[in-house]
A and B are shown apart, each in its own frame.
Chain A
Amino acid sequence: MRHRRLSGVIVLILVLTSSLLAGCAREQDDGRTLTYWASNQGNSPQQDRRILNEEFEKFTARTGIEVDVEVIGWGDLLNKILGSAVSGVGPDVVNLGNTWAASLQATGAFVPFTAERMRQLGGRERFLETSMSSTGMPGRPPSSVPLYGLSYGVFYNKAMFREAGIEQPPSNWSEFVDVARRLTRPSQEQWGMTLAGASYTENAHFAFMLGNQEGAQLFDSDGRATFASPSMVSGVQRYVELMSEYEVVNPDDAEIGSATEAVGNFATGEAGMLVAQNSAIAAIRAAGMEDSQWGVFPLPVPEPMPEGGEAVRSHVAGTNIAVYRNSENKEAAVELVEFLTSAEEQSILNEKYGSLPVVTDAYDNPAFDTEALRTFSSVLADSSKQVPMIPNENRFETTVGAAVRDLFARAGTDRSVSRSDIADVLDEAQQKMRSGGGSTR
């Protein structure tokens, strides 16, 4: 009798538990409101919300569809996307880093942009070819489309260049190192350049760019990681030895965890150069530096170019936009993507954020005809290469990025990092990537 009563209580609890869990299902909405997770592109989430809401008023006036915006920092965005992919509860439209495109495509969380949907956006040919190369795995319809275009360039402090008697920006890597040396005055706490040594994403990008300049391929024809190849070691060595060998980077930079912090060093005159994406322009301005005080030149390449090396001056950087498969308003969501990728909105938003339009018909705006943005757009169009569009791209970033971070930690503390040290940590990263432990299909 007692057992029956106890089992009755347990059954009751299980029923209550399951009904409560079922209650977590996505609530119905009115079909006239879209939820949009926007990445933090500006100086602050508040600024982003203000900029976006101004534009969405137009969208609502034209379509009657309201947009509820939530601005999410880059540090949290990927985890939030993953969480919503698992739970099925999330926004209708989302921004993502374009290097995650293939990894997130593998989750099946996003609606594919079929030929018909691309026609709705004005056709694939409207978009920059380089930006379209980072929208998902090759041979499949894109699962996201470009929204904001970015590329790397070298920002330099004009006054510091003049003071050091440097008349021309460097045109190759050895000149770049020489210029950095001439700008470095540790006694005055002035350094040739600044970098985010503890940021695994930044480190992975540099390993990719400089590795490609040396002729490295991240994966062989069988898709196996080749991070420890001599050319990759040379690329990473060139980056790390800016701190360890040439001492043109403040060892404190080994602790810098984001590009934004490095921007602060550049804007305050602690460093003469900064290799960053054009999104840094807004942060440089916010830090009080006038546009006339800085210039930009493309990331230099070695001269002569190593065998097999490519003149890669940036990876194809940028922010994409995707529609969730679980959205109950897919058509409205695609309408929102259509609106944000229109020539008018591309012109307005990219001007405000200091990024580059990803559609060719938005470049009529004279705001994009500055010397700096011309440099970034020509790098994006002509000398950038997309990171491998494979489902495990995120593993490349974490393994190689963390390996380079550890090298900077060593360079910052005892300043001696040999080629074999670099080979060892890259080999370890390669082993981790190859072993995978069930991270492949």
Chain B
Amino acid sequence: MTVTSTAQAAPPSGAEPDGPRRRRPRISKRSVPYLLLAPALFFELLVHIVPMLGGLWMSFLRLNQFFLREWMSAPFTGLDNYRFALDFDGAAGVELLQSFGVTAAFSIITVGVSWVLGLAAALFLQRSFPGRTLLRGLFLVPYALPIYTSVMIWKFMLDRSDGMVNATLSDLGLGGERFWLLGNNAFLSLTITAVWRLWPFAFLALMAGLQSIPTDVYDAAAVDGAGLWQQIRTITVPMLRPVSQVLILVLFLWTFNDFNVPYLLFDQAVPSSANLISIHIYQNSFLTWNFGLGSAMSTLLLLFLLVITAGYLMLTSRRSRNA
């Protein structure tokens, strides 16, 4: 697209047969990129930046039911909400710390297991065999299902009295009276449900990564006597590193912020063993109407994830350079 700004010749005097002549808009070549970026910037501001700044401002206010209607007039309390959230001698601070620990464990396990399952499935489907296409489609079903549907399926399956999990355990003689949505088992249920939803994404990404590894590398390794396990360890995993780095980061951010799975699985009655930080923030904001404190906790979570992301990217890029 070329846009030129040429000086228009003076129109001849007298009436013009074709009506008044239109002046072409004067858009310089340098403005085009900015104009093309403007819609994206506009929506980024609208959807991301403005609400985020609003949330940050709220975290410095005593924003509760008394000031909800005119939240801009809520008293400014400085860092009080942050101090309260991080007061580990108080109930809120202790709970924040507990939910942080639960969330960290949940994220690490979920991401780790999803990556391993995804890699195993991708390797399994690398070789051609009858029914491979069907199996590939089946593997993607959990990722394609709406989140509400997939979590509800697990909720029914994990029900103590009528659930399939306990019925199966009972048939196998392993005792079918366990609670899966209460007590410490709730953490396991949450993790299994999250892994079930996430591993197909890992599978998809790693399968794409595997396509970029030349087959002659494997052939050469086989000639040298390397077995399957050795090939995976010394060729596949190292060559998948760039894909894995991005994949692990994305999965970690998703799981650390996960609100939908615990909320749908346990409703508002989330057991402490599965009380993720997103649920903790929701409870402090929407159940006790303490939106200032909720915003402070959200900001702390954002800062933590920024630090983690920056650290991870520095670490992985350094490793890549040294590799």
Contacts and interface: CB of A to CB of B under 8 A. Distances in A.
Interface of A: 2, 5-6, 9-10, 12-14, 16-17, 20-21, 79, 82, 85-86, 88, 103-104, 106-109, 198-200, 250-252, 254-255, 257, 325, 391, 394-395, 398-399, 402, 405-406, 409-410, 412-413, 428, 431-432, 435-441
Given A16-B42, A438-B293, 14 more contacts: A9-B34, A10-B41, A17-B50, A85-B68, A86-B69, A198-B182, A251-B160, A254-B182, A394-B289, A409-B179, A409-B271, A435-B84, A439-B289, A440-B64
A20 B68 contact: no
A17 B50 CA distance: 9
B80 A108 contact: no
B26 to A, nearest CB: 13
Contacts of A199: 269
Interface string B137-176: 0000000000000000000000111000000000000000
A266 to B, nearest CB: 15
Chain B residues touching A, range: 35 or more
A432 B66 contact: no
B182 A441 contact: no
Interface stretch (B116-124, B190-198, B280-288, B298-306): B280-288
Given A13-B42, A106-B65, A255-B159, A438 B77 contact: yes
B286 A86 contact: no
B90 A198 contact: no
Given A5-B30, A9-B35, A13-B38, A391 B84 contact: no
B227 to A, nearest CB: 46
B228 interface: no
Ranked 8 nearest A-B pairs via Cβ: A198-B269, A409-B182, A431-B91, A437-B84, A438-B62, A432-B91, A413-B183, A398-B287
Contacts of A395: 288-289
Q: Looking at B71, B181, B269, which has the most chain A CB atoms within 10 Å of its CB? A: B269
Contacts of B287: 394, 398
A103 B289 contact: yes
Interface of B: 30-31, 34-35, 37-38, 41-42, 45-46, 50, 62-66, 68-69, 71, 77, 80-81, 84-85, 90-92, 159-161, 179, 181-183, 267-269, 271-272, 283-284, 286-290, 292-293
A276 B161 CA distance: 23
A325 B68 CA distance: 13
Contacts of B64: 438-441
Given A13-B42, A198-B269, A435-B91, A413 B293 contact: no
A200 B77 contact: no
A409 B277 CA distance: 21
A103 B66 CA distance: 9
A405 B62 CA distance: 29
Contacts of A10: 41
Contacts of B63: 438
A107 B288 contact: no
A38 to B, nearest CB: 22
B271 A107 contact: no
A399 B288 CA distance: 9
Nearest to B35: A9
A108 B70 CA distance: 10
Contacts of B65: 103-104, 106-107, 391
Contact of B34 (A5, A198, A409): A5
A11 to B, nearest CB: 11
B71 A437 contact: no
Contacts of A394: 287-289
A435 B68 contact: no
Contacts of B91: 428, 431-432, 435
Contact of B92 (A79, A85, A257, A435): A435
A9 B159 contact: no
Contacts of A200: 268-269
A109 B69 contact: yes
7 contacts: A107-B69, A198-B267, A200-B268, A413-B182, A428-B91, A437-B81, A441-B66
A5 B159 CA distance: 61
A133 B17 CA distance: 83
A388 to B, nearest CB: 15
A160 B85 CA distance: 52
Contact of B38 (A12, A252, A428, A437): A12
A199 B31 CA distance: 59
A145 to B, nearest CB: 20
B179 A254 contact: yes
A20 B42 CA distance: 10
